[in-house]
Structures are given as structure tokens and as C-alpha cells.
Copies of this chain bind each other. A is one copy, B any other.
Amino acid sequence: MSVAVFLTPQHPDGVEVDPTRPQLLVTDQAATRGDGVFETLLFRHGRIREEEAHLRRLAGSALALDLELPEASHWRAAMQLALGRFHEGAGEGAEASIRLTASRGVPSEGGTFWVLVSGVSRSAATSHGPEDGLRVVLLDRGYDAAAADRAPWLLAGAKTLSYAINMAAQRWAQAHDADDAIFVTSDGRVLEGPTSSVLIARRTDAGVTLLTPELETGILAGTTQAAAFEVAGEAGWSLGYGPLTPADLLAADGVWLVSSVRLAAAVTSIDGVSVPCDPELHRVLVEGLDAAL
């Protein structure tokens, strides 16, 4: 089951609507232009995970698009309304994904804002360990590593509704004997997955280091990546940011795609080449995220 709540001028803290009935006009710029932003949050272990980080990123995305958003307090109220209704139907405490969508709406009529809560299976968050890791392909994102910085109109780092390329990249991967993709810049820097952040771990005599690509390339600031860094820090690992290259991925002791709902999925093949994922490092990361998130 799903529950939808719209934030409207009349109902700033949200009003429930029927998600099985049409709720959007055909002229809504979410549907005509992909002109809007979104976030996906996880409700788990009785609370919304990384709520502040997601609301902050939503606001940052909206700023990049010059899109006026309801205040965070209204989003919070709407999420609570939607979760309450969801749990009445799905059972107290049931795990759920919460999608916040902010659209530019119908031209000259103001934005459209809604919350959609849907059930997620427990397995979604714990799948893909070292034994059954993801096969990924590296796909050129077309941009060089400096493009995001010099061209703000490219909206790099904003989580927009214009995800056609992300979806096409995942379809391309699946059509080429892989499960998912990792984008790289035209000049060979590792970026992110179409719907995830990339983490790699290196184990040396001096200890373990967890790395993620640098934000300056225009990737999304990953909320789960940030949580994973906290987990790793508590485990005594060193932390670092890229630049990372495909060679760094192949030489790592663990590569993961991390995202709010799937948490940390091990990668065990890159462009058809097997890569190891250290089971101990995977365990620390997944158990830590499971407890923290």
C-alpha cells in the first residue's frame, strides 16, 4: 500500500489524497519538463532516517533550480501525517520509503509538493553482500570533472526530477549483463551510480581507509555515504575523498553502492572483471548502517 499527502496553500501541513487516483495535471512541469526536485528517505527502526540531511539536500536542490519550497516544518508534518496513515494500514513500525517531490507545478500557478509513503521489503536493505554482489559497468557521464564547477546551469549536485539519463544508464547496464552502473567523467574520474553513491575501502598494515569521490565533480552529496563515514569513523577507519579512478575501484578491498533504501550493496564485478569485497569490511559497514540508520 501507499499513502500520498499533498502540501497545498490550504493545507500547508499536508492533506491526504488517494494515490491510486490521478492527482497531477498534464501541464504540471514535473511531468512536462522534469522540472523539480526530490528526496527518498527510509523509515526504519521506528524513525525517519537522516531526516535533516535529506531536508537540507532538498533545499539545496531547490535553490539550484530557483524553486520555492515549503518550509522544512511543513515537510516534517506532512511526512508524519503520511506515515501515520501508512502505519494504520501496514502495521505499526512497518518499514517504508518516503519520497518527497517538489515540482515547479503548472506555469504561473506555483509549485506542486507531495509526500508518497510506500512499503519496502526488509530484504531490499540487506541484499548484495560479497557472496552475491552487484555487477556494474562504468559509463561515461559525458562531462569532465570541472564541468559542474564552471557551468551551474547543468544543475550538477541537485537531485532533480530529470532522471532520464540515470534510468537509461541502468537499462544499458541491465542490457549488458550487469546490475547497475557507475558514472565516470570523460577525463576518467569516478562519480556516482545513477541512484547511489560510491564507496571504496582499502586495507593496509596501517588500517582501513574508506573513500568516496569528491563533491567538486558535481555528484550528489550522499546522505547514506555521510552515514557510512560516521560508521567507519567509529570503527577506527580513516576517511577520505577522491579523486578516484577506475583503477582505484579495481584495486580496492571493497566497493559499494550506497543509497537510502538499499543501504550498502557490495560490488563484485566491474566491467566484467571480478573484484573482491572483504567480508569483514562489508559486515562492519552494513551492521553499522543497519544500527545507525
A34 at the B interface (CB under 8 A): yes
Task: Give this chain's copy count.
Answer: 2
Contact for A31 among B30, B140, B143, B150, CB less than 8 A: B30
Looking at A20, A154, A171, the one whose CB has the most chain B CB atoms below 10 A away is: A154
A34 and B163 in contact (CB under 8 A), knowing A147-B142, A151-B140, A172-B153? yes
A274 at the B interface (CB under 8 A): no
Looking at A24, A142, A161, the one whose CB has the most chain B CB atoms below 10 A away is: A142
Q: How far is the CA of A167 from the CA of B158 in the complex (A)?
A: 14
A35 at the B interface (CB under 8 A): yes
User: For residue A167, which residues in chain B have a CB less than 8 angstroms away from its CB?
Assistant: 29, 33, 35, 104
A38 at the B interface (CB under 8 A): yes
Contact for A164 among B21, B31, B116, B155, CB less than 8 A: B155
User: For residue A141, which residues in chain B have a CB less than 8 angstroms away from its CB?
Assistant: 151, 154
**Chain B residue with Cβ nearest A144:** B186
Q: How far is the CA of A65 from the CA of B99 in the complex (A)?
A: 24
A33 and B142 in contact (CB under 8 A), knowing A26-B24, A26-B114, A65-B168? no
A162 at the B interface (CB under 8 A): yes
A19 at the B interface (CB under 8 A): yes
Q: How far is the CA of A64 from the CA of B186 in the complex (A)?
A: 21
Taking CB atoms and an 8 Å cut-off, the chain A residues in 128-187 that contact chain B are 139-144, 147-148, 150-155, 158, 160-169, 171-172, 181, 186
A23 at the B interface (CB under 8 A): yes
Chain A's interface size range is 35 or more
Q: How far is the CA of A139 from the CA of B25 in the complex (A)?
A: 32
A25 and B26 in contact (CB under 8 A), knowing A163-B34, A165-B154? no
User: For residue A121, which residues in chain B have a CB less than 8 angstroms away from its CB?
Assistant: none
Contact for A151 among B19, B35, B66, B142, CB less than 8 A: B142
Which 5 residue pairs across A and B have the least CB separation, nearest first? Answer: A34-B34, A162-B162, A162-B164, A142-B147, A24-B24
A to B CB contacts below 8 Å, 22 in the list: A19-B25, A22-B25, A26-B101, A30-B30, A31-B101, A31-B103, A31-B161, A32-B163, A33-B34, A33-B166, A34-B161, A35-B163, A65-B164, A66-B168, A140-B154, A142-B147, A142-B148, A147-B186, A154-B165, A155-B165, A161-B164, A162-B162
